[in-house]
Each structure stands twice: as C-alpha cells, then as structure tokens.
C-alpha cells in the first residue's frame, strides 16, 4: 500500500512506526513542516520524508492526516486539486466532522475518520472508525490497515467523541492506574523496576483474560476473591474510597471537555 502520513507528530510518528514494524507499506511518505524530529525514520526502506504535502498526496493512495485541527482546513484546501479517485482520506483529527471535510473536498471522496491511540506504535491500538457514505466502500481498507496495528471497531460518527475519551485519552488513564499500582508495589517492598514489571504484566494478563475468554470482568474477579480473603478486603476498600466512581466521573469530565473544546477555541 502507498501510504502518506500528513503531519508526523506524536500520533503520526506512532502510526509510522507501527506500519514500518508490521511491513504494511509499499511506500510511506511522512510529511512535517520541520523534518528534524523524524530524521530517525529516514533510514527505513521505502520511507520518504518531505515537507511537501502535495508531492506526498500525488505519490500515495491512502492519506492519513494527523495534524492539529487548526491546520487541517488549509492543508485540505492545498491538496484538494490533486485528489483523484485512487485516494482514500483517513483523518485522525479530533472533533473535525465528516460534513466539514466534505464541505472542503467534496462528498464524492472516500472519507474515513479513525480514532486510534498511541499504542499504535507497538501494534496494540484500539482504533474506532467511521466514514461518509462513499467511504463505506473503502472501510475494509482502513480496517485492514488498522487491524495490523491493533484492533478496530466501526461505529457511527456520533460516537467518535466518546471513543476519543475511552480509547485515545484512555491510554493516559491506564498509565496512571499502572503507575499507582507500581507505587503500591514499591511500598510493599519491591524495587521500582520490579514493581513496574509486576504492574505492567498483571494488567496485560487481566486484559488478555477478558479478550481470550470473553468473560465479564466480575466473573474473573469471582475467581480471585477468596471468601474472607485479602483480595475482597482490598477491593472493597478501593470501592469505599471511590475507585469506580472516580474513574467514571473522570471519563465523563473528559467527555464534557471534548464537547466544549471547539466552542472554547472560537
């Protein structure tokens, strides 16, 4: 696949690393205004760095946009004359809706919105996808790309904001949970490196139990909680202190914020 990433910053670089590691490219154009920060990607086979978005568009079929929302409109206007029937437009940009993209480049384009997270760099992104009417014909291509870089779910566009909180911001929420369990493990006597190892692999194992077995989390909790044992003692103490409630309230606060970001910027 001839892919271009327009705007190779945090997310764009993570996608690039995932595509390179998974051999998912014929050519990969990476664009950025200043190429210094992505020089480390230059040595890879078939990876080309450029500041020229138009050149990258002309040479590629799949265009993944990973710039900040404020830059998207001008870049779309610049590249619009060079779009042809071969192109699939994939936008990762938060809060930029399909009708806004259609208004700039036309509803006859194949337009897909993708909401990945930074775990895409290690092939473990939970990526939500939606498309315009025409883009439905190319959704399978986007699924094929992002399934190589983790797991995908096609959703209606109306759920993209919620998906951003759960999956993209979700990486930060999980990092904080892993850090907190690491701190507890240090207090219980492990050195910092060991403590993080225990926290990371325990959380990976817990998630994999659900992924592999398809169980509800409480079913797995029931297997661990010995009556009058230490697990239920700790679990109930966490709930008395508001663990579930605080997570839910935090995610709802993120959702309220994401719905107001655009209004605040105006």
Ligand X SMILES: NC(=O)C1=CN([C@@H]2O[C@H](COP(=O)(O)OP(=O)(O)OC[C@H]3O[C@@H](n4cnc5c(N)ncnc54)[C@H](O)[C@@H]3O)[C@@H](O)[C@H]2O)C=CC1
- Is 53 annotated among the ligand-binding residues? yes
Q: Let me know: does 42 contact 67? Beta carbons within 8 Å.
A: no
Minimum CB–partner distance for residue 41 and ligand A1CAB (Å): 22
Minimum CB–partner distance for residue 169 and ligand A1CAB (Å): 5
Q: State which of residues 31, 109, 127, 132 lies at the interface with ligand X (CB under 6 A).
A: 31
Minimum CB–partner distance for residue 46 and ligand X (Å): 20
Q: How far is CA 84 from CA 5, 105, 111, in A?
A: 17, 11, 13
Q: Which of 118, 134 has the CB closer to ligand A1CAB?
A: 118
CA distance 57 to 29: 9
Positions 188 through 247 that interact with ligand A1CAB (CB under 6 A)? none
With CB under 6 A, what is the number of residues at the site for ligand A1CAB?
Answer: 4
Nearest residue to 160 (alpha-carbon basis) of 218, 98, 215: 98
Q: Which of 9, 123 has the CB closer to ligand A1CAB?
A: 9
39 burial type by CB count under 10 A (0-12 exposed, 13-18 middle, 19+ buried): exposed
Nearest residue to 27 (alpha-carbon basis) of 50, 7, 10, 51: 50
Positions 84 through 103 that interact with ligand A1CAB (CB under 6 A)? 94
- Is 234 annotated among the ligand-binding residues? no
The residue number with the shortest CB distance to ligand X is 9
Minimum CB–partner distance for residue 115 and ligand A1CAB (Å): 8
Residue 131 sits in the site that holds ligand A1CAB (CB under 6 A): no
Residue 164 sits in the site that holds ligand A1CAB (CB under 6 A): yes
* Contacting range for ligand X; rule: CB under 6 A; set: 40-48, 114-122, 137-145, 258-266: 114-122
CA geometry: angle 49, 50, 56, nearest 5 deg: 100
Nearest residue to 163 (alpha-carbon basis) of 204, 217, 127, 134: 127
- Is 232 annotated among the ligand-binding residues? no
Q: Find which of ligand X, ligand A1CAB, none residue 66 binds, CB within 5 to 8 Å per kind.
A: ligand X
Q: Let me know: does 149 contact 46? Beta carbons within 8 Å.
A: no
Q: State which of residues 118, 134, 183, 203 lies at the interface with ligand X (CB under 6 A).
A: 118
Minimum CB–partner distance for residue 76 and ligand X (Å): 11
Residue 122: which region, alpha, beta or left (left: phi > 0; alpha: psi -120 to 50)? alpha
The residue number with the shortest CB distance to ligand A1CAB is 168
Given the structure tokens 């697990």, which residue do they identify? Answer: 231
- Contact footprint for ligand A1CAB (CB under 6 A): 94, 164, 168-169
Binding stretches for ligand X (CB under 6 A)? 6-12, 31-33, 53, 66-69, 71, 75, 92-94, 115-118, 168
């Amino acid at each position: 696949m001839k892919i271009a990433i327009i705007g190779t910053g945090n997310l764009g670089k993570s996608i690039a690393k995932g595509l390179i590691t998974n051999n998912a490219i014929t050519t990969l154009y990476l664009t950025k205004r200043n190429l210094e920060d992505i020089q480390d990607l230059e040595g890879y086979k078939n990876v080309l760095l450029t500041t020229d978005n138009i050149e990258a568009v002309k040479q590629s079929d799949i265009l993944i946009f990973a710039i900040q929302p404020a830059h998207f409109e001008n870049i779309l206007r610049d590249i619009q004359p060079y779009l042809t029937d071969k192109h699939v437009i994939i936008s990762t940009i938060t809060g930029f809706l399909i009708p806004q993209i259609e208004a700039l480049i036309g509803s006859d384009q194949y337009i897909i919105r993708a909401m990945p997270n930074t775990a895409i760099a290690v092939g473990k992104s939970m990526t939500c996808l939606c498309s315009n009417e025409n883009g439905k014909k190319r959704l399978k291509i986007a699924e094929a790309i992002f399934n190589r870089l983790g797991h995908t779910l096609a959703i209606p566009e109306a759920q993209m904001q919620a998906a951003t909180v759960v999956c993209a911001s979700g990486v930060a929420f999980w990092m904080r949970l892993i850090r907190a369990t690491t701190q507890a493990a240090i207090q219980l006597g492990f050195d910092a490196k060991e403590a993080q190892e225990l926290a990371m692999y325990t959380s990976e194992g817990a998630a994999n139990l659900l992924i592999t077995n398809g169980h509800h989390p409480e079913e797995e909790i029931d297997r661990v909680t010995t009556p009058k044992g230490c697990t239920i003692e700790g679990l109930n103490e966490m709930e008395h202190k508001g663990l579930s409630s605080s997570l839910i309230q935090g995610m709802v606060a993120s959702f309220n914020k994401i719905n107001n970001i655009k209004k605040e910027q105006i």
